[in-house]
Amino acid sequence: MLKSLVAAATAAVMAVSLTSGVAAATEDSKKATAMLFDTPHIRDVKPGTKFTYKNIRKPSDETQLGKGFTDDITVDIESEGAPGKKNVIVKLYTGERARDPQRITDMDGNPMLVVFLDNTLGRFQQLAGGDRGYLKNHFSRSIGDESTLTPVKIAYNGAEVDGFRVDVKPFAKDAARGRMRGFENTAVSIVISDKIPGHFAKMTADFNNTQKDAATLLDTMTLDGVGEIK
């Protein structure tokens, strides 16, 4: 997943920028796009800082979707990079699930966003089928044009901070939704706050299914220190 993380991050930004405006983007989606893709989330974070995200995967039926698990993903702010940017190391999982750490230079956005979006898209393709290029383009366009933005309160390290929840159902209006094996209403939620280092508090992919008795999957990535969101 992380072998081409920098390229993926650039492509994600370009995809949203290019597709947003093809349909009439809402004010919410414009603001959400700016928060997600145009904001330097880690520009002011000091080297030596580490963000740890707890990834919890909960399938409703492990025989169909594989075993659930709880594991960590970490982002280490290693050093200063180019002006306003940082060099980071991303580590996916621990123990037998661990993948090779990826060092990324000169980033100002939090790479966890790309990890989450890439993971969500890959999982959706596994569950619903379809061409990855087609799904990626529609996913990006939906974020850029159809996101909703809701103010929230976030419990973080014993305090309560203001933030926003970005919500989108990327494929609910897709012309091909009838061929997505019941997963067309998959919902993505991203909670973000500039009062939290790295900005991203919690990211959720709810792979629900409209077909009777079909297996479902809930995948969350939550920053250590983040509690109730309301």
Q: Give the right CATH number for 5-229 from 3.30.1890, 2.60.120, 2.40.360, 3.90.25.
A: 2.40.360
What is the Cα–Cα distance from 92 to 128, expressed in whole angstroms?
24
Task: Give pTM, 2 decimals.
Answer: 0.90
Mean of all residue pLDDT scores within the chain: 91
**What angle separates helix 132-146 from helix 5-19, to the nearest 10 degrees?**
60
> pLDDT digit string (tens) for 67-76?
999 999 999 9
- Confidence category of residue 208, pLDDT binned at 50, 70, 90: very high
Residues pairing with 23 in the sheet = 20
Q: From the DSSP assignment, how many helices (H) and strands (E) are in the chain?
A: 5, 10
Q: H or E segment at 34? A: none
Burial label for 175, CB within 10 Å (0-12, 13-18, 19+), is exposed
Instruction: Label residue 24 by pLDDT band (50, 70, 90).
Output: low
134-145: pLDDT as tens digits = 999 999 899 989
Structure tokens at 130: 């379809």
54 vs 64, residue with greater confidence: 54
